[in-house]
């Protein structure tokens, strides 16, 4: 398994700072936070960014988060998506992480999934034209896509586009109560990347992103990661944490801790 870090873990810092500190800490890959990418491109080109990543020996594993938002005024989300599928190939990135929309109360689950699937099919077609793969992130406690089974169902309803897979996040799957059987049912060719993190103890329905911790420092059991390793997963494990007290620390300290705890986790699997 390969080491990666998500730009959310260092949210107050710039993309340039993320790249320098991630490389210094020893990470192999970086998930580029969308807003940081846009801020960087205000004063730089995609060629500048590609050179910077190469200089620091970092793989741009994904750009995130983009959104499928068929149930609201989603023109901004669609515009950002169209922009992202143009930018990603220019920096050597071929994966966009996509967050699903929530089920409106006015629709049944079946109706909402059908509408969502149509939007996903359109996005997958546009992405494929640019050589881009999409990965859907199930969200803990989500009303429509809380886990991998629902994400895989959504992909099937969208016509099973070959350039769409799913993302695992240890916090979200823990919060949604995803079972070992659900994990075993994920086809390896559909599992694109795994977000790793831990969290404080608490009632599942009360846990939020702010309760996330560095890997191995909380209550999440990592047996499902072991199942996936035994199954043959050898892709990226990406540390993604949203914790303000971490963000207040120097970026070098954040990423050194993220790398050391990830290394400890990988060694334990």
Residue 51: helix, strand or coil by DSSP? Answer: helix
pLDDT digits (tens, 9 = 90+) for 159-201: 999 999 999 999 999 999 999 999 999 999 999 999 999 999 9
Domain that holds residue 245: 2-268
Residue 232: helix, strand or coil by DSSP? Answer: coil
Tell me, what CATH number does 104's domain have? 3.20.20.150
Mean pLDDT score of the chain, rounded to an integer? 96
Q: Please enumerate in sequence order all residues whose Cβ is within 8 A of that of 20, keeping only pairs 6 or more positions apart, or say none.
A: 56
> DSSP letter at 9?
G
User: Residue 74 pLDDT more than 90?
Assistant: no
Residue 96: helix, strand or coil by DSSP? Answer: strand
Residue 160 CA: distances (Å) to CA of 109, 115, 163 = 19, 15, 9
Residues 37-50, mean pLDDT to the nearest whole number: 98
Do residues 65 and 119 touch, judged by C-beta distance below 8 A?
Answer: no
Q: Please enumerate in sequence order all residues whose Cβ is within 8 A of that of 193, keeping only pairs 6 or more positions apart, or say none.
A: 4, 31, 61, 62, 95, 97, 135, 167, 168, 235, 236, 238
CA dist., res. 75 & res. 205, Å (int): 31
Tell me what pLDDT residue 96 has: 98
Count of domains forming the chain: 1
User: Residue 73 pLDDT more than 80?
Assistant: no
């Amino acid at each position: 398994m390969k080491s990666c870090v998500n730009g959310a873990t260092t949210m107050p810092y710039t993309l340039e700072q993320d790249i320098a500190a991630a490389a210094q800490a020893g990470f192999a890959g970086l998930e580029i936070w969308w807003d940081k990418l846009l801020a960087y491109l205000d004063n730089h080109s995609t060629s500048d960014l590609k050179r910077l990543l190469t200089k620091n020996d970092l793989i741009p594993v994904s750009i995130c988060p983009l959104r499928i938002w068929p149930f609201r005024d989603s023109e901004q989300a669609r515009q950002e998506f169209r922009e992202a599928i143009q930018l990603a190939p220019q920096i050597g990135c071929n994966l966009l992480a996509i967050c699903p929309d929530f089920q409106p109360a006015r629709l049944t689950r079946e109706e909402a999934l059908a509408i969502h699937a149509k939007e996903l099919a359109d996005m997958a077609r546009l992405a494929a034209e640019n050589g881009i793969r999409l990965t859907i992130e199930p969200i803990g406690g989500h009303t429509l896509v809380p886990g991998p089974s629902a994400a895989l169902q959504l992909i099937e309803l969208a016509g099973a586009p070959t350039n769409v897979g799913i993302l695992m996040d240890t916090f979200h799957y823990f919060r949604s109560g995803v079972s070992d059987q659900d994990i075993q049912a994920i086809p390896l060719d559909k599992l694109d990347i795994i977000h790793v993190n831990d969290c404080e103890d608490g009632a599942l329905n009360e846990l939020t992103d702010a309760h996330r911790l560095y890997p191995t420092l909380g209550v999440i059991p990592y047996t499902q990661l072991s199942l996936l390793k035994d199954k043959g997963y050898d892709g990226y494990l990406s540390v993604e944490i949203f914790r303000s007290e971490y963000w207040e620390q120097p970026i070098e300290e954040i990423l050194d801790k993220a790398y050391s705890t990830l290394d400890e986790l990988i060694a334990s699997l």
